[in-house]
Amino acid sequence: MKENAELRNEREFPSGKSGQGVGARLPRKEDDRLMRGRGQYVGDIRLAGLQDVAFVRSPLAHARIRGIHVPEAYRGSVFTAADLVGIKPIRAVSGLPGFKISEQPVLATGKVRQVGELVAMCLAPTRAEAEDIAASVTLDLEELPAITDMLKAREPGSALVHEHWGDNVFLETSYEVDISAALDAPIKVTREISTARQCMSPLEGRGVVATFDPRLDQLTLHSAAQMPHITRSGLAECLGMEEGQIRVISPDVGGGFGHKGILLPEEVCLSWLTMRCGHPVRWLEDRREHLVASSNCREHHYKITVYANSDGMLRGIDCEATVDSGAYSSYPFSACLEAAQVASILPGPYKMPAYRCRTFSVATNKCPILPYRGVARTGVCFALELMLDLVAAEAGLEPGEVRLRNLVLPEQMPFDNITKKHFDSGDYPQAMRRALAAIDLDAIRARQKRGEADARRIGVGVSIYCEQAAHGTSVYSGWGIPMVPGHEQASARLTPDGGLELRVGVHSHGQGMETTLAQVAHEILGVDVAKVRIILGDTAMTPYSTGTWGSRSMVMAGGAVASACRELGERARRIGAKLLQHDPAAVVLQNGEVRGVNGSVSLGAIAHTWYRRPQDLPADVDPGGLEVTQGYKPVRDSGSFSYAAHAAVVAVDPDLGEVEILDYVIVEDGGVLVNPLVVDGQIYGGLAQGIGTALYEEMLFDASGQPLATTLADYLLPGPTEVPAARLDHMETPSPYTQFGVKGIGEGGAIAPPAAIANAVNDALRPLGVALMQSPLTPHRIVEAVLAARAAERSAA
Amino acid sequence: MKPAPFAYERPRDLDAALSLLAASRGSTKIIAGGQSLGPMLNLRLVQPELIVDISGLAELKLAQVSGNELVLGALVTHADIEDGRTADVTRGAMRNVAANIAYRAVRNRGTIGGSLSHADPAADWVSALAALGARVKLRTLAGARTLAVEAFVVGALEPALHVGEIVEAIHVPTRTASSHWGYAKSCRKTGEFARAIGAVLVDPADASARVVIGAIDTAPIVVTDARELFGGQIAADYKQRFDVRVADALLAKAGIDDAAQRHIHVSVLKRAVLEAAA
């Protein structure tokens, strides 16, 4: 950890002594309510006259709607698309050339294109009664051939999800740098690799409570949402209302991960319904709706060739990537973000002279795909890192050594890689070396030679990735999607008693922003974090923001809070100078006080004077006051690049296919850490999700497009006994472009585990001739591969 | 995920419960611990008109040794057995099985009679009790009958219950001192239903063996005379004589076409044999 200390000491933080500023390992302030069960989620909201909604959802993946029959008794409690006059469909367009537009009606019209698509909305005093009504509605559907296989969907003659397109491809992109230069490489490995379709599975599902206030002429939508301002913009477009007529409140949110980053048809439906029926209405997503009808993620397919010299040096990568985007383009990220991103991020932190990647975003009769923690990076890391292990085997090298030979070097920073991704800082080889040392590679190799008493096989695997975070206007304007992040703003207000209120447009759904943003404020103003209140999740109370996604909140909202607090501190300092009867140039703000040679005056006293005793202020005081809104954008908005090397040791039972993770090491560099405790929590949580991707989570569909996992007995999530006590090591290479040198780290934990674990399993089974290229690595897939390898060996013998 | 409307009765004694069952028209479901029925109701997979809650029937909570067997009331919970609150005639076999059913919250409420009545082929008792040679006592207003566990579980989620009939008790024979017991299962994760179960009761002293392969898509494969699995005879060297090909053929005959699935089942059964012999 010596290197850490050196890096940290390069920077000076004025509040270092107080233990509350940037770098302090503070317990989370919000946990006092959350851990006592006192959080307030959408499901906790009670409004007078509230009624519940249950939806009639399509039982078929692809069908024409011939009729919707509502029993006489329930007319008036059931609403269909025919009722929603003037409501526009959800459109999430990309400006990338060739993008085909899907229109998602909030209640189905004409066709249904996925199981679970909303067809009718049923209203009753309780959810159970609403479900009774929904069960009584019958649909007359003409079933159409379901498109469930994204590769077949690309073939000519496939049935079509959106007939007028002529094919099923939302978007095709390509990126090439001189691939012909790689073709004569002595090592050439080609494989097909795929990752399963997953459900994001936050503890809290989506939920909506909508109500209309005639006095304010305002719709209030309470929604478990990561991006309330974007939700409001999307709602206004669909409902044909002014943004000022809509207030979106996102209270405590129990996990987002991307699942809560889209505009829901349910949000539009309930907004319309409360205005139609004149009382508050509620819909809470249940677990079955989440599994079968909501949104999915992660389903990638790669056909990939890696070229290398015999010493393991990469010569190039040639890849064709396909992503199953589902039936509709979701607002605001669109159906193409995931696949098109693959082309630009596949090379990762590796140097190579040649590269080609084509990508396809394919429409199928499944839920729309959303960017899930790590977005395309988890699939990309899985594909490339599995391939590098095959290159290592061809070259006769340790997998770690192949990485070390190809990773970008610290002296090359800042570094533009082959797809022009701009790496701000970091020492990737050091992270890999530390991980290899911590996992004790030599000891594992010795243990493998000895063998195990229980006949299991031991394997070790590594992976490394980079996580571009908080990338802004210059990156997103090119996508041409409905949302482009610009300057982030924060409001800071000193209260008359010396407290600090901060208003930010990002949200917090487990990230601990109420603590970390308070630490940033403390860093600048010296206000005790206990006296800092963070106000977020309400469009009426916070500055416009694209919200919390893309690991951007600490960089962007943290930067904005720092800017606002600096300006506020400057105003307080000038008032303080007046009170101390000093020249403003002769006083400083330190530890929550304005100090001069004559003495000091606290921020609390300055605030009290400003608000309560203006008679004590001189006539020429700056009238601006102690409330400011300031904006922030990093010096470069191409993103901060955090990264980590992961190393896993597994024991594999080749007869049962069971995998046990024996040891797991993560060496993470997230730049300067505002709160290492919070960062640790982010990494542990991400690791759990990465283990889910690696070993458990998979939403399968039958040929007719029926989702096969409808409860958590079938859709397996890792639990406490499946997540090992990982060992974390931090490096801290500051970003040169951000406030304090911070980097976004929210997603990284979920990116590398599938690759590290799969590489470890393959390492364990390599002597048997087994290499698995598909996640999750289920017992059945493992045993199937072992049996196939044994059969191949027998037929060869 | 809310149940369809149903009527609810909670009788105070077995006769009252049986009368309700006899009088009911249309669909009736009995609820005890509710660990399987609860989710099925919420998912509307079952929509009974009447639910008879038998959790108040004291006579179904009794557990006593009677002669050469243990009689466990249907309402005895997995946790009762795990914690040793009931007598044991299986030399710890049942206690170990109980301790590994799902997780503790399920074991606290789930009952042995409910588990058998639900007849999920992946449930532990369905396989373990068949291997132990247990019998199920069934009662209606008209009288009682007794079935071997393997005769009671006729298919997946398909118990041999007649209309108006209830599982009253489980009769578990005393395990002989010379017998060996092995029980193994493979679960995707802690607390999940097994995807393969092997249960073995071998008595080299009287050259007998019962073998169960459970957690398949249908009722478990119960081999009451398992000599063929051990090369035609049961003796002290049964571990060495265990024949995986015979086990594999049993699974193929039961309709399991997938070779990897059969391999996992056979491997789990082999572990049960090794455990018995250990």
Question: DSSP characters for A35-91?
Answer: TTT----GGG---TT-EEEEEEE-SSSSEEEEEEE--GGGBTTEEEGGG-TTPPPEE
Closest residue in chain A to residue B193, using alpha carbons only: A713
> Inter-chain contact A656–B186, Cβ cutoff 8 Å?
yes
Reported as type and span, the H/E element at residue A416 is strand A415-416
User: How many Å apart are CA A8 and CA A763, to the nearest integer?
Assistant: 37
User: How many Å apart are CA A420 and CA A227, to the nearest integer?
Assistant: 29
Q: What are the C-alpha distances in Å from A42 to residues A47, A208, A221, B163, B177?
A: 11, 7, 10, 45, 60
User: How many Å apart are CA B117 and CA B98, to the nearest integer?
Assistant: 17
> Inter-chain contact B43–A710, Cβ cutoff 8 Å?
yes
How far does chain B reach from its first CA to its final CA, in angstroms?
Answer: 47
Of B39, B188, B260, nearest to A783 by CB-CB distance is: B260
Of B1, B192, B264, nearest to A287 by CB-CB distance is: B1
Looking at the domain that runs over B61-173, which CATH code has it been given?
A: 3.30.465.10
pLDDT digits (tens, 9 = 90+) for A726-743: 999 999 999 999 999 999
Handedness of CA B36, B37, B38, B44 (dihedral sign): positive
> Inter-chain contact A719–B190, Cβ cutoff 8 Å?
yes
Closest residue in chain A to residue B184, using alpha carbons only: A656
Gyration radius (Cα) of chain B, Å: 19
Q: How many CB atoms lie within 10 A of CB A51?
A: 20
Of B5, B39, B264, nearest to A656 by CB-CB distance is: B264
User: For chains A and B, what is the number of CB pairs under 8 angstroms?
Assistant: 64
Q: Do domains A2-39+487-632 and A300-473+636-796 have the same CATH topology?
A: yes
Q: Which of A225, A310, A236, A296 is nearest to A87 (CA)?
A: A236
Residues of chain B within CATH 3.30.465.10 domain(s) are: 61-173
How far does chain A reach from its first CA to its final CA, in angstroms?
Answer: 52
Closest residue in chain A to residue B39, using alpha carbons only: A711
- For residue A114, the distance in angstroms to the closest alpha carbon of chain B comes to 20
- For residue B226, the distance in angstroms to the closest alpha carbon of chain A comes to 23
Phi, psi of B186 (to 5 degrees): -125, 125
Would you give the DSSP letter of residue A336?
S
- For residue A454, the distance in angstroms to the closest alpha carbon of chain B comes to 11
Token pair in block for residue B107 = 């074991």
- For residue B120, the distance in angstroms to the closest alpha carbon of chain A comes to 13
Domain covering B181-277, topology: Enolase-like; domain 1 (3.30.390)
User: B263: which chain A residues are within 8 Å (Cβ-Cβ)?
Assistant: 655, 783, 787
**Which CATH architecture describes the domain A2-39+487-632?**
2-Layer Sandwich (3.30)
User: B190: which chain A residues are within 8 Å (Cβ-Cβ)?
Assistant: 719, 721-722
Residue A619, pLDDT score: 85
Of B190, B193, B268, nearest to A656 by CB-CB distance is: B268
Of A288, A711, A779, nearest to B264 by CB-CB distance is: A779
Closest residue in chain A to residue B194, using alpha carbons only: A713
Which residues does chain A have with pLDDT short of 50? Answer: 1-17
User: B100: which chain A residues are within 8 Å (Cβ-Cβ)?
Assistant: none
Residues of chain B within CATH 3.30.43 domain(s) are: 7-52
Mind giving me the DSSP string for A218-281?
A: EEEEEE--S-HHHHHHHHHHHHT--GGGEEEE--S-S--TTTTSS--HHHHHHHHHHHHHSS-E
> Inter-chain contact A713–B5, Cβ cutoff 8 Å?
no
Residues of chain B within CATH 3.30.390.50 domain(s) are: 181-277
User: A286: which chain B residues are within 8 Å (Cβ-Cβ)?
Assistant: 1
Closest residue in chain B to residue A660, using alpha carbons only: B189
Residue A620, pLDDT score: 84
Closest residue in chain B to residue A710, using alpha carbons only: B43
Give the SS3 label for residue B20. Answer: helix
Residue A18, pLDDT score: 61
Of A656, A657, A716, nearest to B192 by CB-CB distance is: A716
> Inter-chain contact B43–A713, Cβ cutoff 8 Å?
no
> Inter-chain contact B188–A716, Cβ cutoff 8 Å?
yes
Closest residue in chain B to residue A289, using alpha carbons only: B1
Q: What is the pTM of this model?
A: 0.96
User: B265: which chain A residues are within 8 Å (Cβ-Cβ)?
Assistant: none
User: How many Å apart are CA A671 and CA A500, to the nearest integer?
Assistant: 27
> Inter-chain contact B260–A135, Cβ cutoff 8 Å?
no
- For residue B201, the distance in angstroms to the closest alpha carbon of chain A comes to 22
Q: Are A524 and A566 a contacting pair, CB within 8 Å?
A: yes
Burial A217-229 (b: 16+ CB within 10 A, else e): ebbbbbbbbbbbb
* The total number of residues written for chain A in this structure: 797
Closest residue in chain B to residue A126, using alpha carbons only: B2
User: A721: which chain B residues are within 8 Å (Cβ-Cβ)?
Assistant: 189-191
Domain covering A300-473+636-796, topology: Aldehyde Oxidoreductase; domain 4 (3.30.365)
Range B38-56 average pLDDT:
96
Of A126, A713, A718, nearest to B193 by CB-CB distance is: A713
> Inter-chain contact A721–B188, Cβ cutoff 8 Å?
no
Alpha carbon B204 to chain centroid, angstroms: 25
Q: Which of A291, A233, A219 is nearest to A259 (CA)?
A: A291
> Inter-chain contact A713–B267, Cβ cutoff 8 Å?
no
Closest residue in chain A to residue B102, using alpha carbons only: A713
Residue A11, pLDDT score: 41
Q: What are the C-alpha distances in Å from A184 to residues A189, A310, A347?
A: 12, 12, 20
Of A131, A655, A716, nearest to B267 by CB-CB distance is: A655
Closest residue in chain B to residue A785, using alpha carbons only: B260
User: Candidates 3.30.70, 3.40.190, 2.40.50, 3.30.43; correct CATH number of B7-52?
Assistant: 3.30.43
- For residue A247, the distance in angstroms to the closest alpha carbon of chain B comes to 29
> Inter-chain contact B193–A696, Cβ cutoff 8 Å?
no
Selected for mutation to probe chain B from A57, A132, A291, A783 (highest B CB count within 10 Å) is A783
